[in-house]
Amino acid sequence: MSGGNGYFDLPSDLQHSYAGLIGIHLEESLIPVAAGLVLSLPIAQLCVRYRWAYPPVLWITTVLYAIPSIAFFVFLIDYTGVSQTTVEIPLTVYSLVVLVPAIVDGIRSVPAETMAASEAMGFTAVQRYFQVQLPLAVPAIFAGLRVATVSSISLVSVGTAIGNQGGLGNLLGDALTYHRYNLAVTSVVTIALLAIVFDGLLIGLRMLLTPWLPRGSGAARKAALAAAVEPEAGAEKAAALEGAAR
């Protein structure tokens, strides 16, 4: 038995081992990103299809993104209780907010000639979407996915504030309660490492999915930077560039 000052010797109120907390943390942060992706693909497609729908969608997402996570969590307590769902719903919304503009920009950036060529080759609208538009939008989509994943992994920790629903973030609450400050270090370092690892995994996956792009190409870097420019700003930038091109 260690003296209770260790980095990985967790208080029993958490009811989980270190590895168990990592599992919960990933579950709580990645399910929302996946749900956000599934929801944002059709929404983005609607915005591409009906151009007038995009500005109001952008407005709604900008306002939703402005709602602080802690506020969002406590609003939901009344409906979903102190549970993982309460943390996962807001994170899904934030992912959606990041992903919709990324996907819309990605699909819009497919050159008109490419679309015309695929039409001339006899692609149906569905084939064109899955075999032309979506693959070409992969760099932009992944730039959005990286932002959504990294912020989701880091935001889950706020769930500790509503009562031990923060995965590894729960260690922060215990660090203060039990004066076990090492636990806070464990929490911050592990969360940051998880975020960086998943960011790297997404970069790798993107490279696998877009073999036609040169390694470390300017386009990929630009997409990453454009996404690093916060989501709403990214959309605004796309609008600005579009205006300049006209």
Check binding of 233 to other proteins (CB under 8 A). yes
Please answer whether residues 30 and 87 qualify as being in contact, where contact means their C-beta atoms are separated by less than 8 angstroms: no
* Shortest Cβ 183–other proteins spacing (Å): 9
**Three-state DSSP class for residue 28:** helix
Q: Which stretch binds other proteins (CB under 8 A): 9-17, 42-50, 119-127, 234-242?
A: 234-242
Check binding of 176 to other proteins (CB under 8 A). yes
Check binding of 240 to other proteins (CB under 8 A). yes
Q: Which stretch binds other proteins (CB under 8 A): 4-12, 47-55, 74-82, 83-91?
A: 74-82
Tokens of 216: 């470390």
Cα 138 vs. chain centroid, distance in angstroms?
15
**Of 38, 53, 67, 121, which lies in the binding site for other proteins, with binding defined by CB under 8 A?**
67
* Shortest Cβ 203–other proteins spacing (Å): 10
* Site residues (CB under 8 A) for other proteins, limited to 85-124: none
Query: CA of 135: how far to CAs of 51, 80, 124, 174, 207, in Å?
Result: 21, 37, 16, 45, 12
Check binding of 195 to other proteins (CB under 8 A). yes
* Shortest Cβ 129–other proteins spacing (Å): 29
Angle at Cα 167 formed by Cα 164 and Cα 172, nearest 5°? 65
Check binding of 199 to other proteins (CB under 8 A). yes
**Three-state DSSP class for residue 25:** helix
Tokens of 29: 């942060």
Give the separation between CA 134 and CA 129, rounded to whole angstroms. Answer: 6
* Site residues (CB under 8 A) for other proteins, limited to 135-174: 146-147, 150-151, 153-155, 157-158, 160-163, 169, 172
Count of other CB atoms within 10 angstroms of residue 152: 27
DSSP state of 12: G
Check binding of 40 to other proteins (CB under 8 A). no
**Of 38, 66, 116, 121, which lies in the binding site for other proteins, with binding defined by CB under 8 A?**
66
Q: Which stretch binds other proteins (CB under 8 A): 38-46, 64-72, 105-113, 132-140?
A: 64-72
Please answer whether residues 226 and 234 qualify as being in contact, where contact means their C-beta atoms are separated by less than 8 angstroms: yes
* Shortest Cβ 58–other proteins spacing (Å): 11
**Three-state DSSP class for residue 123:** coil
Query: CA of 93: how far to CAs of 18, 164, 177, in Å?
Result: 28, 21, 31
Given the rule CB under 8 A, which residues bind other proteins? 62-63, 65-72, 74-75, 77-78, 146-147, 150-151, 153-155, 157-158, 160-163, 169, 172, 175-176, 181, 184-185, 187-188, 191-192, 195-196, 199, 221, 224-226, 228-230, 232-233, 236-237, 239-241, 243-244
